[in-house]
Structure 1
């Protein structure tokens, strides 16, 4: 039995204006237990201390909520162990969530998590650039999220094809994203989008984070996304 993180998560979230119900806290507790249990068999996270999971995975994810107004569809690209998609679904059950990852074993873990938490989400086994060409995913989402997947200029070509008109890409980055943002300007423009803003926040314990918000203002050109090897070899 893992450490009980429910009170700790609630107390950690309170200064950010985030309230969690008893049911949500129970779901996060179960999620943490499954994460640590499965992590012994496969590499899901380097963070294994329960309170660190609560802050660096769960709270970090749910701090996106204030930037998710005006839409109810989200695709989490390269979701890995489910961050930030699953915590956002716990907090907003009406969210239509799609979890996309290229590793099938991670998706098996996520299906187990969703089942145990009583949550519904679409789980897609594909590389991001493949998903961006699928008619049921391309330009279909109000929000796209990605966390620690790639530099922003590459990430834009992987993630922006999923955005519908007016939709927002929420790229979770480290404390100083300015250099990445400058390097991604061309990609943002070519993919029919604009930089909407950058948010900075600090987690309990002092870890600094940023959130880069990019919005679709024009239709996506049909040539994007390119093949994965091309994206890596010659970024936009």
Structure 2
């Protein structure tokens, strides 16, 4: 889209100039995007050549020479150019992964932040109170970024509009008598809700260290319950005994 926009602007400024775009596939998936590309080609005279550029070099007289291939015509193409512009891809900023790990939110293989659910929770993350807006989630144009920012702001206002913060009552609890402090739950928790806790005697000496759940951060996903080696973690309302009783009732 930005390439088509630049081609249109160039044609408006330089009426006798040629705007040539080498491409392999034009992906214009947004509302009115395909029409915008067609306008650049049909109304503004941008020339789209399907093929790859093989070489760019500067001639002795200062002209840039672009060599490529037109795969539709099946022939080599050589163009004398005054200016060559590379259409770069949008990539996440450096250090974004460290911020995601600090906030406890997920990110994909490309480094863009992941939403909690693409349809039901498109601006929310796995961490409560952290919302997404703009190109941190994926490449977006200005209208999409504004729309998502409005949705994220509405979600944030929804939190501040209540005198008390409501949350799900299902949280994990550690039986400190059974905990062997293997730290498997701490490593597995996607929200960073489990931390080391030192049990001390009356003199303040550390007797043993166990895992303890921060109830304000825990989202009740049950990951820690599944990885606990000593079977010392349960979810409120979903202990093994309660689940077995429910199964027996169904039978």
TM over 0.5: no
Q: Structure 1 length normalisation: TM-score?
A: 0.24
Q: Structure 2 length normalisation: TM-score?
A: 0.23
